[in-house]
C-alpha cells in the first residue's frame, strides 16, 4: 500500500511539474514583445516534446541508468538491482549507461514513474535559456540545443548529484557532510538552466538596440505584463509538486514541511523584491515581485526538506535581494541581455539555494541521505563539511555546465548560426522566422 501511495504521489507531482511548462511559457512570452510572441511561446512549447523525446532516447539512461531501483516505489525494489549500470567506480561515477529508450524497463512501474518525473525536471532546466535568448534565437539552433540539453548536458550533471555520481559521493568518499545535497534541484535544475542561459546569452549577444553606443541601455518592455504575473502563479503552483514530490514518497511526513517552506520562501522573496524596489524607485514593481517570488522558489528548492520555516523565510528574503541586484548587475556590468531575467532567477538564486543547504540545514531531516549516517547539518548547525560539499557542487556546475554549454553554442554558431538575420529580428521573428502572427484584432 505504501508503494501505491508513493507511486500516486510521484505521478501527481510529475503532472504538476509538467504544468510548470505553461508557467514558463507565460512568464517569458509576457516579458517579450508582441512581434516575437509566437516565437517565444513556440520555444517554450516545443521544448517539452523535444525534451521528452531526447530524454527518453538517451538522457534518462545517462542520468539514472546507474540507479538500482527506488525501494519506496516498489514492493520488489530488490528485483531492480540488476538494471543499474554505472561508468566509473562509485568513487568517481560519471554517468549511467543503461535503460536507453526505456527498452529494458518498458514495463517497470518505478522506472516509468521516475522517467516521467525526471523528464519534466529536465524540461524545467531546458526551458530556462529560451527566456535569456528570446527575441533573436534561430528556431533550428534552438531545436539543436533542446536535444543537446535533454540528451547530454542536463543528464550528466543530474547523474553526478541524483544518479549516484561523484558529487553525491563526496560525503562517503571524502567525509564532506552528506556529499552534495540538492533536494529538489537548485543546482541540478535551476543552476544548470541559468548557467546554460548565461553561456547562450554571451554567445548570441544582446538584442539589436539594447546597448546603445553612448553607453545607455534601452528598456525593452514586455508586451503583456498580466500574462507574466499569471505565469508566475502557475509556476508557484507547480513548484509544490517539484519540491514536495522530490521525497518520491507521500509516506514521508516531511512533505508538509517542504510545502510550507516552499510557500514561505516564495512569499518572502516576492515581498523583499517588491518593497526593495518600491523603496528605491518609488513604485511597486510587480514584475520584479514576480522575479522575487521565482527567485525565492529557486533558492528554497535545494534546502526545502532540511530547514525550519524561519530559515526558509530567510532564504527567500536573500533571494529576493539577490535577484533584484543580479538583474541590474548582469545588464549594467556584464552587459548581458536577458529579456526575462532568467539568469538572475535561476542561475544566481540557484547558486544561493545550493549554498543555503550548507548553512541552514538544521539536522531535523536527511538521516542516511547519500549513504551517510545522521541527518543533514549545515555549517551553522555544526557541519562545515556540508558547506564545502555544496560549494564544490555549485562551482562544478558553474565551470562544467558553463564550459560545455559555451562550447556547444559556439559550435552551433559555426554550423547553423544561433541568431536570426538582423532584418528578421527588427521585423519580428513571428512573421519572418515562424510564419505566424500572434494576434489579430477582428
Return d(Cα 87, Cα 66) in angstroms, integer. Answer: 8
CB within 8 A of 367, min separation 6: which ones? 373, 374, 375
Residue whose CB is less far from a second copy, 54 or 393: 54
C-alpha cell at 401: 555546465
**Smallest gap from residue 300 Cβ to a second copy (A):** 13
C-alpha cell at 264: 514561505
Residue whose CB is less far from a second copy, 87 or 363: 363
**Smallest gap from residue 59 Cβ to a second copy (A):** 13
Residue whose CB is less far from a second copy, 48 or 352: 48
Residue whose CB is less far from a second copy, 201 or 227: 227
Which residues sit opposite 377 in a β-bridge? 362
C-alpha cell at 126: 531546458
Residue whose CB is less far from a second copy, 25 or 344: 25
Return d(Cα 301, Cα 48) in angstroms, integer. Answer: 21
Count of beta carbons in the 10 Å neighbourhood of residue 101: 13
State in Å, rounded, how far the first CA of the chain is from the last one.
Answer: 56
Return d(Cα 171, Cα 178) in angstroms, integer. Answer: 5
**Smallest gap from residue 269 Cβ to a second copy (A):** 8
Residue whose CB is less far from a second copy, 93 or 222: 222
C-alpha separations of 333 from 135, 189, 216, 291, 389 in Å = 22, 26, 12, 20, 30
Residue whose CB is less far from a second copy, 273 or 396: 273
**Smallest gap from residue 200 Cβ to a second copy (A):** 19
Return d(Cα 389, Cα 387) in angstroms, integer. Answer: 5
- Please identify which residue in the block is written with the cell numbers 548570441: 204
**Smallest gap from residue 65 Cβ to a second copy (A):** 15
**Smallest gap from residue 51 Cβ to a second copy (A):** 8
How far does Cα 152 stand from its chain's mean position?
Answer: 15
**Smallest gap from residue 228 Cβ to a second copy (A):** 9
Amino acid at each position: 500500500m505504501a508503494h501505491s501511495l508513493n507511486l500516486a504521489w510521484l505521478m501527481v507531482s510529475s503532472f504538476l511539474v509538467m504544468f510548470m511548462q505553461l508557467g514558463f511559457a507565460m512568464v517569458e512570452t509576457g516579458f517579450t514583445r508582441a512581434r516575437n510572441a509566437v516565437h517565444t511561446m513556440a520555444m517554450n512549447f516545443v521544448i517539452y516534446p523535444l525534451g521528452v523525446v531526447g530524454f527518453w532516447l538517451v538522457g534518462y539512461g545517462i542520468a539514472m541508468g546507474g540507479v538500482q531501483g527506488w525501494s519506496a516505489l516498489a514492493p520488489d525494489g530488490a528485483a531492480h538491482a540488476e538494471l543499474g549500470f554505472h561508468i566509473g567506480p562509485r568513487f568517481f561515477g560519471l554517468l549511467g549507461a543503461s535503460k536507453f529508450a526505456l527498452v529494458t524497463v518498458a514495463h517497470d512501474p518505478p522506472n516509468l514513474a521516475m522517467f516521467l518525473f525526471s523528464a519534466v525536471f529536465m524540461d524545467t532546466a531546458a526551458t530556462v535559456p529560451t527566456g535569456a535568448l528570446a527575441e533573436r534565437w534561430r528556431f533550428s539552433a534552438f531545436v539543436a540545443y533542446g536535444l543537446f540539453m535533454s540528451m547530454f548536458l542536463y543528464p550528466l550533471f543530474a547523474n553526478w548529484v541524483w544518479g549516484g555520481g561523484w558529487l553525491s559521493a563526496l560525503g562517503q568518499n571524502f567525509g564532506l557532510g552528506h556529499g552534495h545535497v540538492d533536494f529538489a534541484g537548485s543546482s541540478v535544475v535551476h543552476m544548470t538552466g541559468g548557467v546554460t542561459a548565461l553561456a547562450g546569452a554571451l554567445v548570441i549577444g544582446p538584442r539589436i538596440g539594447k546597448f546603445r553606443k553612448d553607453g545607455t541601455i534601452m528598456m525593452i518592455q514586455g508586451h503583456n505584463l498580466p500574462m507574466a504575473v499569471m505565469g508566475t502563479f502557475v509556476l508557484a503552483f507547480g513548484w509544490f509538486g517539484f519540491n514536495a514530490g522530490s521525497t518520491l514518497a507521500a509516506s514521508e511526513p516531511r512533505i508538509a514541511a517542504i510545502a510550507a517552506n516552499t510557500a514561505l520562501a516564495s512569499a518572502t522573496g516576492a515581498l523583499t523584491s517588491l518593497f526593495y524596489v518600491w523603496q528605491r524607485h518609488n513604485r511597486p514593481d510587480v514584475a520584479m515581485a514576480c522575479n522575487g517570488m521565482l527567485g525565492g522558489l529557486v533558492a528554497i528548492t535545494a534546502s526545502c526538506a532540511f530547514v525550519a520555516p524561519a530559515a526558509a523565510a530567510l532564504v527567500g528574503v536573500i533571494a529576493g535581494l539577490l535577484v533584484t541586484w543580479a538583474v541590474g548587475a548582469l545588464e549594467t556590468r556584464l552587459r548581458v541581455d536577458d529579456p526575462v531575467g532568467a539568469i538572475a532567477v535561476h542561475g544566481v538564486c540557484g547558486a544561493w539555494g545550493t549554498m543555503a543547504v550548507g548553512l541552514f540545514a538544521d539536522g531535523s531531516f536527511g538521516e542516511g541521505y547519500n549513504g551517510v549516517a545522521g541527518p543533514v547539518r549545515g555549517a551553522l548547525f555544526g557541519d562545515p563539511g556540508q558547506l564545502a560539499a555544496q560549494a564544490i557542487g555549485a562551482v562544478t556546475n558553474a565551470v562544467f555546465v558553463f564550459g560545455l554549454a559555451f562550447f556547444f553554442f559556439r559550435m552551433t554558431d559555426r554550423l547553423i548560426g544561433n541568431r536570426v538575420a538582423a532584418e528578421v529580428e527588427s521585423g519580428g521573428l513571428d512573421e519572418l522566422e515562424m510564419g505566424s502572427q500572434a494576434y489579430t484584432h477582428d
